[in-house]
Structure 1
Amino acid sequence: MTGKKITVSKTFLALLLSLMTLSMFVPIVNLFAKSLSHPNQVHLLRGYEVLPRGFSLINFEVVLHNPIIVRAVMNSLFITVTGTLLSLLFTTMSAYVLTRKKLVGKTPLMVFLIVIMIFEPGIVPEYMVIKSLGLLDNLWAMVLYRTINVFYLIIMMRFIEEIPDSLLEAAKIDGAGHVKLFTRIVLPLSRIPLLTIGMFYAVARWNEFFKSSIFLSSRDHTVLQVLLRQFIVERDTTAMIDAAELLKNSGIAQLDFGSLKAATIVIAMIPILMLYPIILKYYTKGVMDGGVKE
């Protein structure tokens, strides 16, 4: 048994990838350290230290005891979960239809979709459409907004086209219609692209703030990313005042704006950070299961 040769290029590539990983990992851990540090000791943190100074959950208490923040988190979760499920359903259904060989007008449809993907409508036409539908300041505006991404649709089509025709023909001989073909064959065999595209949809919906700030105007219907931007970028602390005042009455030390900001960012990152290992687990399992053979 011969060992693998370690070349200079492989060593350089490994070092480069390690540095890239550290450049992304260290700032995230530093945010956790700031958010968990005691308010009286957080000023002792220097640079990108990854260990908290002292320990306190005061910053998370301030954020999570505020009903405005909690409501924004729930709104973001609703938009992300519901919107991702709808996007996966309609994207997969559309991809199945567009991969049927006997579909009439397939070429004009694809040209139309590609033109839409390249030449996106402006914010004013989108706003007028949302307004005409009566969805302004309604969470469903962000759920239904861009339900299908044409680029992800094309990716899904490529995967569905890889399903052997013999498998579909055998199911048709057994009396299966399009509904059974889609639910019993196409969906189970498309688990990997569904997980991958679903992750892209979820991340995009969770991180969306620009269109949310335009379509959702009230505090009751705002989302976490909009509040996060107001707090982090615009330094608007009005959403934090009530909870901070309550905690001051309990004799808790004065809060540090930097650590409070770090705690808010951490809360916004946690759902997405939890999503990646779950997706990776099923993604790896699906790859190891093997593919369909003729």
Structure 2
Amino acid sequence: MAAKGFTVSKLILGLLLTAITLTMFVPIVNLFAKALSSPDKVYLMKGYDLLPKGFSLLHFKVVLSNPIVGKALLNSLFITVTGTLLSVFFTTISAYVLTRKNLVGKAPLMVFLIIFMILEPGIVPEYMVMKDLRLLDSLWSMVLYRTINVFYLIIMMRFMEDVPDSLIEAAKIDGAGHMRVFVRIVLPLAKVPLLTIGMFYAVSRWNEFFKSSIFLSDPDKTVLQVLLRQFVVDNDSTALLSAATLLSNNEVAQLDFSALKAATIVIAMIPILVLYPIILKYYTSGVMEGGIKE
């Protein structure tokens, strides 16, 4: 007898989702295993082995002992945290303004934003703007770069349009202005969409390397993703070798650079891997939790 609610389509969908999950889960675990393996046993790892060969933190020690990596990590954290907070604030307050029914010129504004989203400016105009603003080689160039993403703005606008008018009208009857309505009514109801676009902004800012490599030429202002590309894609191990000189000759001789690359990738992944569970736990609550039923 079939279990209640069980269907063949659900089984197929479950197997398909499991297969897709494994395509992402297995490579990540393999990177962790390689990075945690003993330097003299890394060569024993074959294909997508999921368990480390031996155990050692030497590869993480070499990467993190590099002062350039430490500076790049702090720079990336500053850009991600500060930029995400600014982006979420301006995106949310812009969405509130654009969803007001009595806003003059709403249609032309939306047309302009949609055109701007589709026809993005090229790298040369963006570079010239940063140069004119004297933001080149400044972390603020990446903090302020694309503060508002139009697609995320539309997502937030869609939520704002679903906020019951009765809540806003009740607040206005009590003498609340737009700022109080926004802070006391809209923001508490927007927990889930705020966290959603916040996660989108954080991931995109953390993973950004192309514009960072153009706007930030000072080695002290570089970000982790630029170094990651330098180490992993361009095979430039100069900085890693300089960090390895802090070790004994025996330890240096045992180093495996494929495992050093894996350790660098793991370090770059950890902040995002930690962020996802924190954000996802809020999805179990309703968007309109604490509101009223109409």
User: Shared fold (TM-score greater than 0.5)?
Assistant: yes
Specify the alignment match of 2:282 in structure 1.
Answer: 282
Q: In the TM superposition, what are the counterparts of 1:145-184 in structure 2 within 5 Å?
A: 145-184=145-184
Q: Distance in 2 between matches of 1:5 and 1:102?
A: 48
Specify the alignment match of 1:195 in structure 2.
Answer: 195
Paired AA for residue 169 in structure 1? E
Q: Distance in 2 between matches of 1:14 and 1:53?
A: 32
1:157 Cα deviation from its structure 2 partner: 0.5
1:292 Cα deviation from its structure 2 partner: 3.9
Q: In the TM superposition, what are the counterparts of 1:26-105 in structure 2 within 5 Å?
A: 26-105=26-105
Q: Distance in 2 between matches of 1:23 and 1:287?
A: 31
The verdict on how the C-alpha distance between 1:187 and 1:289 changes in structure 2, with shifts beyond 3 A counting, is closer
1:13 Cα deviation from its structure 2 partner: 1.6
The verdict on how the C-alpha distance between 1:36 and 1:251 changes in structure 2, with shifts beyond 3 A counting, is closer
Q: Percent identity?
A: 74
SS of residue paired to 1:41: helix
Specify the alignment match of 2:127 in structure 1.
Answer: 127
The verdict on how the C-alpha distance between 1:246 and 1:107 changes in structure 2, with shifts beyond 3 A counting, is same
Deviation per CA, 1:209-250: give whole Å up to 9, x if none. 000000000110000000000100000112212210111357
Q: Distance in 2 between matches of 1:12 and 1:120?
A: 40
Moved over 6 A (4+): none
| Equivalent pair of 2:192/2:283 in contact (CA under 8 Å) | yes
Structure 1 vs Structure 2 CA RMSD: 1.5
1:286 Cα deviation from its structure 2 partner: 4.6
1:283 Cα deviation from its structure 2 partner: 2.4
| Equivalent pair of 1:195/1:283 in contact (CA under 8 Å) | no
Paired AA for residue 223 in structure 1? V
Q: In the TM superposition, what are the counterparts of 1:100-111 in structure 2 within 5 Å?
A: 100-111=100-111
SS of residue paired to 2:245: helix
SS of residue paired to 1:267: helix
The verdict on how the C-alpha distance between 1:5 and 1:181 changes in structure 2, with shifts beyond 3 A counting, is closer
1:251 Cα deviation from its structure 2 partner: 4.8
Specify the alignment match of 2:215 in structure 1.
Answer: 215
| Equivalent pair of 1:42/1:259 in contact (CA under 8 Å) | yes
Deviation per CA, 1:78-117: give whole Å up to 9, x if none. 0000000000000001000001111111111111111100
The verdict on how the C-alpha distance between 1:165 and 1:227 changes in structure 2, with shifts beyond 3 A counting, is same
Q: Distance in 1 between matches of 2:199 and 2:5?
A: 36
Q: Distance in 2 between matches of 1:286 and 1:222?
A: 40
Specify the alignment match of 1:247 in structure 2.
Answer: 247
Mark the runs of 5 or more structure 2 residues left unpaired by the alignment: none
TM-score scaled by length of structure 1 = 0.96
Q: Distance in 1 between matches of 2:16 and 2:77?
A: 36
1:269 partnered with 2:292: no
1:291 Cα deviation from its structure 2 partner: 5.5
| Equivalent pair of 1:79/1:205 in contact (CA under 8 Å) | yes
Q: Distance in 2 between matches of 1:8 and 1:170?
A: 49
Paired AA for residue 161 in structure 2? E
The verdict on how the C-alpha distance between 1:44 and 1:123 changes in structure 2, with shifts beyond 3 A counting, is same
SS of residue paired to 2:254: coil
1:156 Cα deviation from its structure 2 partner: 0.4
Q: Distance in 2 between matches of 1:251 and 1:241?
A: 12
Mark the runs of 5 or more structure 1 residues left unpaired by the alignment: none
Specify the alignment match of 1:186 in structure 2.
Answer: 186
TM-score scaled by length of structure 2 = 0.96
What number of residue pairs does the alignment pair up?
A: 293
Q: Distance in 1 between matches of 2:5 and 2:99?
A: 45
